[in-house]
Amino acid sequence: MALSPGTPLLTFAVEPVEEGEGFALNVSPSDGSGVRSYRVDGPEPEAFAEMFDALHADFGTRRPHHAEPPQDYAAPPWRPLITGNLHPRILSGYGDPAVLRTGDGWWLVATSNDAPDAFPILHSTDLESWKPMGFVFEEGQTPDWTAAGLKVGDFWAPEIARVGEEYWLSYTARGLDRTLAIGLARAAHPAGPWTDNGAPLLTGTVIDSHVYVDADGTPWLLWKKDSNSHWPRPLAALLRENLDLIPALFDDEGDRRTAAFCAAIQPFANSRRPMERFFLMQPLIRAALANWRRVKAALERSGIAAHVIENMATPIYARQIGADGRSLVGDQHLLLANDLDWEGHLIEGPYLTRQDGRYYLFYAGNDFTSPSYGIGYAVADRLTGPWRKADQPLLRSHPDWTAPGHASVSVGSDGEPRLFFHAFHPGTGGYNVFRALMTVGLAFSGDEVTLVP
């Protein structure tokens, strides 16, 4: 709802109270209507969603999980491969899937989030039926440098590649200091056993690694700087100290109230574990994405938000991996950053393939919990660029499947290239929500990529 000029901004005072595994928030709005209490019963995203639903009912703020349905268009030629859980220890499906074809079929590794067993491994001989083959790191066998355990660890985005006579698997995990880092493990066979390097390959709040082996055998690491996790709370802190910025960023009453609430809760969010910080700021992220151009322009005009604006860019980098797989060598190259409207506040999940002498880099953009999430691509004549992006996403949400993302490229049974990616069942989405494995054929022609059945 747009505001009339002079409408006063509704603000909030928030008093958090720890209660068992969860907490309560005693919220006092500035309109004097009295204190209202909202409970969050534990660290699950559903508990936060229920709290924000109640806050929405009372004050019209945004709900983190609510979005307009995806635009309807002719059904894309996607084909679902795994649409339900195949093993009780795989807790959230097949997000960020990496598929590799070998002489004995196709191997799949996928994100496990905070499950006790990290990175499920599955095998197929026909791309139709898939057999669970264990985990890269079973419970109790995660690398010593990683934070691990149910509701503690974050094991994301494994990528598998054949490098020389062995297989390398790069992945994202949190170090013991809770910052994100990239590790590397190796095995003689995709089924394992996998042996970790024993220390991170790359640190510094980095995620979504991809190992690419160039035509001359040189291994490269691609990754994303996780800047998008560094702007929501600083933005909330900035708004907390400068409430007059809120009307400049948002015209809608609900979005203004969302920003005011997240500003009030920001000090408490800073004290929570990383994923809970994300849950608490998610309505502000959604509000900012819905007003992306206006928000960025207003922040630039303010002259006091350079630290926020800087972290609204998520660069994807590449650097050579040393022959021992334990270090990075040579120069670091910036490949891409988010600069198209549909990408919003991030691009992530890079996957590089070479076809007919050209390099094609697939990536995901926008917010993974939103129907606005999709898969784009860029083309270059050299690995280090310059890269030319397609203007619009190659894959986007459809009423049949939502938020396609984080692709890998392998070869189908017909010998032709195929894209493998995840998507949510309609009406679902979010952290630890089941993601299905999908596939679609690819055709490459110059700077163009098209989808084929």
Active site residues: 96, 348
The whole-angstrom distance between residue 245's C-alpha and the CA centroid of its chain comes to: 28
> Which residue matches tokens 């001989």?
125
DSSP, collapsed to helix, strand or coil, labels residue 241 as helix
CA distances 145 to 115, 302, 430, Å, are 17, 41, 27
CA distance 22 to 178: 20
- The pair of three-digit structure tokens given for residue 401, joined into one six-digit string: 């499947």
Query: Which ranges of 6-153 would DSSP assign to H, the alpha helix?
Result: 45-59
| DSSP string across 63-77 | PTT--PPPPP-SPP-
> Which residue matches tokens 């995840």?
422
105-111-117-122 Cα dihedral, nearest 10 degrees? -10
Residue 207 class from Cβ within 10 Å (0-12 exposed, 13-18 middle, 19+ buried)?
A: buried
Which of these, 118, 330, 69, lies nearest to 218 by C-alpha position? 330
